[in-house]
Amino acid sequence: MSNKQLEPLHIVIDFDSTFTKVEGLDELANIALQGNSKQKEIVSKIREITEKGMTGSYSFADSLRDRVALLSANRSHVDQLIAFLKGKISDSFNRNKEFIQEHAEQILIVSSGFKDFIVPVVQELGIPAENVFANTFNYDAEGNITGYDHDNLLSKDRGKVSLLQSLQLEGEVYVIGDGYTDYELREAGLANKFFAFTENVSRKVVVEKADHVVPSLDEFLYINGLSRAQSYPKSRIKVLLLENVHPHAVQAFKKEGFQVELLKGALDEAELIEKIKDVSILGLRSKTNLTKKVLEHPNAARLMCVGAFCIGTNQIDLAECENRGIAVFNAPYSNTRSVVELSIGLMVMLTRNIFEKSTRMHAGVWDKSATNSYEIRGKKLGLVGYGNIGTQISVIAEALGMEVYFYDTVDKLALGNAKKCASLKELLNLADFVSLHVDGRKVNSNIIGKQEFSWMKDNVIFLNLSRGHVVEIPALVEAIKSGKVWGAAVDVFPFEPKTNDEEFINELRGLPNVILTPHIGGSTEEAQANIGEFVPAKLLQFMNNGSTYGSVNFPELQLPPLENAHRLLHIHHNMPGILAQINNVFAKYQVNIIGQYLKTTEKTGYVITDVAKEYSEEIVNELKLIENTIKFRMLY
C-alpha cells in the first residue's frame, strides 16, 4: 500500500515531554539532588519554572537561567539521566521507530534542553547527532556543571524561531511539540503547521493555538498519510467501560492510547443506546444488558468487540453479536476462587447460625448455646452444576471432611471422591447442603421451585451464588417459613439495583437465618484485578492482532504476531465460495500472501490474510464488496 512521501517535508520535533515523557532538566535535578534535604523543594521550584516557560507566561531565557542556577549536577548525573531517559521515550515514538529510522534525515530535534543528554537518547531511534539542535552545558575541571553556552540561539527568548530562521529549510515544515515555544515557529511563519502533542502533557494555551491536536505520533502520521506502526490511531477508538470495572482495565486501554470512558453504574437499554455511539470496545458486567435492540441501532455501528468482566454472558445477545461480526470475551476463571471461598464460608456461618447470633450480640443479647449448631464435617454437600466453581468447591469441601455429590447435565469427571447423581431429584433427596453453580442460560430459569424444594431433606441449608433467575423466590420464601430450609444464603437475584443508590427490594428480606449479599461472590480485590487484566488482554489481542481465542461467540483463532506485513481480516456469513472469492481478489492484483488462516462456526467465517506491504488500494474496496461480508479491517 503506497504512503505519502516525506520529500520535501521537514518534521521538527521537541524533546522534553514530546520525544520523551518527561522534562530532562527536571529529572536531572531530581537525580543530582538525591540525599539533599532540600531536594523536594528545589525540584518543585524547577518544575514550576519549567511549566511557566512552556505556557509562555515566563521569559524563556529567564526560565533557563533560573533552572540551571538551581542545579548542583555534574557529568555523572548527566550519564544517569541519559540511562533514565532511554527508558522514558514516548510510547508512540517507540512504536514508530521504523518510520523514524527510515526518515531520520528529514527529522530535526529542536529543543531548549541540552545536547549533552538529548543526542544519546534520540540516537536510540536512529536520529543523527547533526540533526539535534539544543543547548550545551559548561563544565569545570571536576565535571561539575557551571552553566551553559549563552551564545547559543536556543538559550535566548524566541530561540527556536532564530534557530529555524538560520537553517532556512526548504519545503514544508511541520512542528510537533507540547510547549508555547514550539507554537512560536508557526506564529513566525517558519512552519506550515503546528501539531500540539498531548500524549504526555496537555497545555490549554498551546492546544488552543494548534492546527491539530495529536495525542500520539500515530495520529500525526495518520493525518498526514505517512507510514506508521498502527493502521488506525488508537486515540480515535472509543472504549466504554461500565459498572465500575477494575482500574487495571482502564490503565490497560489508556496505555495503548485508546479513548476511555468509565461509568460507575449499569445502563438500561435506552441509556446504552445513547452512550454506545461511536464506541468500538464495550466492557460491562452482569447488570447491563446488551440486547438486539441496542445492537441494531445505528449508534452501535462501530462496535467491534465486547468484554464481559464476569463469568456469565447471558446479559449479552451473543447470536446478534455474531451476526454483526462482534466478538465477545468473558472471564471464565478469574473470580472462581473468590466465589468458592464465599460459598464455603457461608456454609459454616449458616450451620453455626452465626448471622443470627451476631445480630443478637449487637443488640446486647448474650446467647451462648450449642443448640442447632453443627460442624460441616461429615455432612453431604450437593452441588447443582459441576463447572469451574463447582469442581473447586468439591475439592475444598472434601478436604474439610464433607461428602460431595453433584449433578450436571453435561457428563463431567468427578474429582477426588465426589459422586455424580443421575438426576437432580436424587441429589436433592440426599444433600444436607444444596449449592447452585449453573450458568445463566434461559434453560436454567427456575430450575429450583416448589417441587424441587419438596424433594429436599428437612432442615436443608440452601445456597445460590449462580444466577438470580434459577430459583423461584416465592418458593424459597415458603420453604424457609415452613422450616424445610433451615438456613439460606443468596447472592444473586432476579431483579438487582443498577447502582448502590437504589433500594434492594426482595421477599427474602427479614427472614431468619438468611444471609443476603449484594452479588459479591466474585467481588474481591484479587478477583476484580484478575478480571481487569484478563478481559482487556483478550480484547487487545483481538484489536491489535486479530486473535479470537477465548471468544464465546466467534470462530476461535490464536494468531501469530504480525511482523513485516499487513493483516487483512475478513468476517463474513458462512457461505460456500467466499474464501475462493477472497483469494481471487489477491490473485487478480498479484498480491504476495505471507500467511492465511481460516476458522468458521455454523454461521460465521473468519479469514485472516497476511500480505506483503505493497499492494493496490483497490484490493481493500473489492474485499469489502464481496457478498455476505459482515466486517473488514486491516492491521499493520
State the catalytic residue, choosing from 496, 533, 556, 622: 496
State the catalytic residue, choosing from 246, 467, 570, 572: 467
What is the dihedral sign for C-alpha 123, 128, 132, 136? positive
Q: Which of 90, 92, 70 is nearest to 17 (CA)?
A: 90
CB 404 within 8 A of CB 381: yes
3-state secondary structure 373-421: CCCCCCCEEEEECCCHHHHHHHHHHHHCCCEEEEECCCCCCCCCCCEEC
Q: Is 575 exposed, middle or buried (0-12, 13-18, 19+ CB in 10 A)?
A: exposed
| Region class of 316: left (phi > 0), else alpha (psi between -120 and 50), else beta | beta
CB 58 within 8 A of CB 52: yes
Tell me how many degrees the CA angle 117-122-125 measures, rounded to the nearest 5. 150
Q: Which of 499, 503, 496, 494 is nearest to 471 (CA)?
A: 494
* Distance separating alpha carbons of residues 20 and 448, to the nearest angstrom: 61
* Distance separating alpha carbons of residues 636 and 634, to the nearest angstrom: 7
Contacts (Cβ under 8 Å, ≥6 apart) of 122: 15, 19, 109, 132
Q: Which residue has the cell 452512550?
A: 275
467 catalytic? Reply is yes
State the catalytic residue, choosing from 77, 186, 519, 567: 519
Q: Are strands 566-573 and 604-611 parallel, antiparallel or unpaired?
A: antiparallel
496 catalytic? Reply is yes
Rg of the chain over all Cα atoms, to the nearest angstrom: 32
Cell of 492: 444473586
> In 256-362, which ranges are continuous DSSP H helix?
269-275, 292-295, 318-323, 336-351, 354-362
Instruction: Give the three-class secondary structure for 245.
Output: coil
519 catalytic? Reply is yes
Catalytic residues: 467, 496, 519
